[in-house]
Amino acid sequence: MAALLHLLAALLLLLPSTPEATSSALLGISYGRVGNNLPPATSVPHILASLGVGRVRLYDADPATTRAFANTGVELVVGVPDECLATVSTPAGAASWVRSNIAPALPATKIAFLTVGNEVLTGANSSSLTRYLLPAMQCLHDALAQAGLDKQIAVTTAHNLGVLATSYPPSSAYFRKDLLPTLCPILDFHARAGSPFLVNAYPYFAYAEEPTGVDLEYALLEPGHAGVADPGSGLHYTSMLAAQVDAVYHAIAAANSAAARAVEVRVSETGWPSAGDANETGATPQNAARYNGNVMRLVAQGKGTPLRPATPMRVYMFALFNENMKPGPTSERNYGLFRPDGTPAYELSYRLPQDNTPSSSGGGGITGGGVYNAHGYGSDNGGYYSISAAGKATMGWWRWTQGAVAACVAVLVMAL
């Protein structure tokens, strides 16, 4: 009996652990599902475990998808789709949505944020949806509070950089004047609720729109680039992504100085396409590999931006898979780190820091899919983020080992 117990303990040690997400994880990934050839959601936690990523952004609250992350420790950002905004902008509608879509997943599934809509203020339906955005955020926050969940789950929304009237240099940035009546109360909400201001930031679009005026190395966040000086602030930027984040900080300060002292800016999406149409300059596997690798490097440093050096950048990379049913140019269907069959879209290796495979104690990031996203148009491997053929072979071995060990454990338990 003692020998069996010792063998059982040894086998359990071989089972890989899934990262338990806490606010210490700075890097996450977006998991869009606009495709008819994607792997089942149940396979995604295994992929995340191999990458060492413990935070995921979803674009809806599909029950099967949220259930797939139950008991994994992966921390979710759950989207409230645009088409739900009118419904959840009333107290009764918001309470019903929380009861139907969030409560059943808890506590097995970790949910840290609700993102209400996506790029609502600049999207194709902005004229009809904008009036619902803040009421929906407020009502969902109140519904969570009534359920005793407001300390666990924060409410926010994700904006396109198109909310800025100008972004360069960062110190001159300000919000579009027509959006101020909506954005200023939203900033007040963030300050009161302690939730972050989310922005989908893509240096790729800046380069693609003006390839002769934007240095590719700067857009790709290459560490050897000399950088760009901001004449207004005197700050020096070696990363376009950091410059975009600081432009948002400056715009917040210009619009609402009180909120600027309390609201953190986080990047809810960033990425680079590995393929595009003939006129989509720079959309290549090589550039995608360089950009996404540099994003991971930048975030792994745990540093802030030149304007907010003490606030580490928190970023969700876009995206986990290529999505073959997304409309728009070819680039829209080629943001994935992986193809739907699980093979890498391009070669990419990077060592993630231990603090991105979140194991320290702590809750969600309150203090600290299913829908089309048009972007700019209208660990078991020791901490390695390995997107390569070798990585896929390792994952196959990992899955076989997990199954084999689990089977042996089951037999031993029966013997006991």
Active site residues: 119, 269
Distance CA 281, CA 204 (A): 9
